[in-house]
């Protein structure tokens, strides 16, 4: 009985599809997802990373852009000395050309942290929350997965 249920569930996932809104996402019209990270709680970060991986399964890479903005306490999650498992997960997402990880320089300055304290592959913006405001004003979808 358990095997039958497992097979049915796997079949549902294998044949499930997203009903895209019109216009459907494409290279010329990608979905643009903004993720604001202002917490370094591992539970929240794992939810975010799980959601990112799930969304990546549903969209062709060229039809989706993701920007993750670390600000306030959230920039701790991009530090080299943070939780190794989460850093490994973040680094595994850096291989995608359609995902950017941005760190707030104002928060870095407040904490007296330097770029050398952070993992390679992140970019920097002066004001993380202002970056988020401008992305939202430009039509980016601001959905928090936690």
Kind plus residue range of the DSSP H or E element containing 132: helix 128-137
What does the mean pLDDT of the chain come to? 88
Q: Is the pLDDT of residue 90 over 70?
A: yes
Upstream peptide bond of 19 is cis (omega within 30 degrees of 0): no
* pLDDT at residue 32 in the model: 96
Distance, CA of 38 to CA of 80 (rounded, Å): 17
Residue burial 38-55, b: 16+ Cβ < 10 Å; e: rest = bbbeeebbeebbebbeeb
> Among residues 30, 100, 93, which one has the least CA distance to residue 59?
30
pLDDT at 145: 81
**CATH of region 22-142:** 3.40.1260.10
pLDDT level of residue 26 (50, 70, 90 thresholds): low
- Within a 10 A sphere around the Cβ of 101, how many other Cβ atoms? 22
Instruction: Give the residue-averaged pLDDT of 32-37.
Output: 97
The answer to whether 93 and 55 have CB atoms below 8 angstroms apart is: no
Could you give the CA distance from residue 65 to residue 117 in angstroms, rounded to a whole number? 26
For 102, the 3-state DSSP assignment is: strand
């Amino acid at each position: 009985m358990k095997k039958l249920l497992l097979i049915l569930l796997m079949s549902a996932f294998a044949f499930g599809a997203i009903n895209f809104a019109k216009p459907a996402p494409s290279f010329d019209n990608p979905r643009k997802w903004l993720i604001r990270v202002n917490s370094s709680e591992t539970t929240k970060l794992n939810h975010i990373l799980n959601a990112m991986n799930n969304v990546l399964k549903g969209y062709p890479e060229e039809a989706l852009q993701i920007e993750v903005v670390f600000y306030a306490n959230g920039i701790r999650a991009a530090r080299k000395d943070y939780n190794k498992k989460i850093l490994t997960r973040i680094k595994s997402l850096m291989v995608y050309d359609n995902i950017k990880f941005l760190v707030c320089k104002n928060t870095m300055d407040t904490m007296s942290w330097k770029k050398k304290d952070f993992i390679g592959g992140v970019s920097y913006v002066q004001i993380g929350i202002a970056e988020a405001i401008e992305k939202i004003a430009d039509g980016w979808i601001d959905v928090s997965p936690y």
